[in-house]
Amino acid sequence: MNTQPITRALISVYYKDNLEPIIHELGKAGVEFVSTGGTQQFIESLGYKVTPVETLTGYPSIFGGRVKTLHPAVFGGILFRREDEGDRGQAKEFKINPIDLVLVDLYPFEETVSMSAGESEIIEKIDIGGVSLIRAAAKNFKDVLIVSSRKHYAELLTLLQAKKVSTDLSDRKRFAAMAFEVTSHYDTAIFHYFNQEQRIPAFKASYSQGITLRYGENPHQQGVYYGKLHDLFEQLNGKELSYNNLVDIDAALDLVREFYDEAAFVIIKHTNACGVATGETVKEAYEKAFRADTLSAFGGVLATNQCVDMAAAEAMNSLFFEILIAPDYDANALELLRLKKNRIILLQKQPLIRGKQVKTLLNGVIEQDYDWKTDELSDLKVVTKREPSPTEINAMLFASKICKHSKSNTIILAVDGQLLASGVGQTSRVDALKQAIEKARAFGFSLDHAVMASDAFFPFPDCVEIAHQYNIKAVIQPGGSIKDKDSIAYCDEHDMAMVFTGYRHFKH
């Protein structure tokens, strides 16, 4: 067990929140306090004597506070090995007394960066002494307890009370592990700040908050989510979010934000859209989206970019769905939707912020830019004799947005403001088109004057040939095939309009 009493503590913290009960617990046990600056004043205000760090080192805080604790009298007290005869002899020779507890936190570097502070202010929030103290105490966990963050204060207080201001080796080793997590996260944040400009090809990621999920993608797999979900959502109803829920929520938010300038509704199943529509109201958009695939909507993830009112809530309440996401809810609508206790209702508090996309692969990691490109009117190049009508152009741009967020190979069939059907995740583009046509017909849609969108070019004219058989009159695709001319020629022969965007949107 290697139980050791705490007799001397070095305490220097930026945040004083919840520190007072710890000081009292240590003070009642007669622990000697060593501190500096504001922390010293705080401890003294509670009625305890404090040995200033300057008394140990013989130096004042210098260089604007950059150098305070970096001295053998401090680090020797932390690092000398109590069981080592040579270390004990040197400690005695140089009058270095042991320090049993180091309680420090770090300057708020990430918070300062997030406030868009100037570079000089950000640089001054790079902690030197604090990180050094943490690493030293954590390295010597056999003899020293390190507490490196205010988020560990509650656990420390419980430990002090339970073990009468003593610690076991297992306690010290646990706090050492948490300390190295704190410093590694801190260093990663600093690296990311500098690497915005330097672009050093190194992959660093750190998430300090983890949520253990019920299981992973399947019940026999363990799952954990790392991140700050509470910053993004407030959960207003329902059970815990699962791994698959989170994956589908991510897909739903990605798609619905494409329609920032109009009321939109999306229904997601296994990350693909089975319903997407825009409308004058949320109710209208929901009903149009639902009609695209009334079967797959069962158990789906629903999202809208507008407030859910009572009319919309009444329209969707009879459907069994897993999750609803919206930026706001009318009170009576929320009351109705909450009647089903397991139904997850999320209030989206802020937009989803995207950076790089990362995936583990083989024996490493691949990283890429997020696909921010949304096909716009200015991207469209008409390659056929017939110009698409304004209605067809609107429908094609709508379909292209859905295409971008569907698994390849994908074909989207749509009219302006409504998904009719999709073929997704197919090994050939022809199969994707056939799947979409079959689904559209199964749910009673006529494809007369519908448009077709493809995530990549047509290597052969077979897709436009099939589309023509069902009276699809307009096509949007990236272009770029060596046989583009064959598809263009077929469209010209059959009075079809086709536009190229110049942008492929594969999604795997």
Q: Residues 436, 451: contact at Cβ < 8 Å?
A: no
CA distances for 131 relative to 13, 134, 137, 179, 335, angstroms:
12, 5, 10, 9, 50
Contacts of 92 by beta carbon, 8 Å cutoff, 6+ apart: none
- Residues, the chain: 508
Nearest CA among 505, 496, 467, 476 for reference residue 399: 476
Which residue among 16, 270, 373, 449 is the active-site one? 270
Annotate 88-144 with DSSP letters as a single string. Answer: HHHHHHTTPPP--EEEE----HHHHHHTT--HHHHHHTS-SHHHHHHHHHHHTTTT-
Catalytic site includes residue 152: no
Annotation says 270 is catalytic: yes
Beta strand 32-35 with 418-423 is unpaired
- Rounded CA-CA distance 282/40 in Å is 58
- Which member of 71, 139, 142, 340 is catalytic? 139
Q: Where are the alpha helices (DSSP H) in 350-446?
A: 390-404, 429-442
E runs forming strands in 280-395: 301-304, 323-326, 344-348, 356-361, 364-369, 381-382
Which amino acid is present at 238? G
Give Cα separations from 480 to 5, 387, 474, 502 (angstroms): 73, 20, 18, 7
User: How many CB atoms are closer than 10 A to CB 114?
Assistant: 9
Distances from the Cα of 241 to the Cα of 83, 229, 342, 389, angstroms: 49, 10, 11, 44
Alpha-carbon dihedral angle through residues 252, 306, 423, 246, given to the nearest 10 degrees: 10
Scan for tokens 């990430």, then name that residue: 110
Catalytic residues: 139, 270
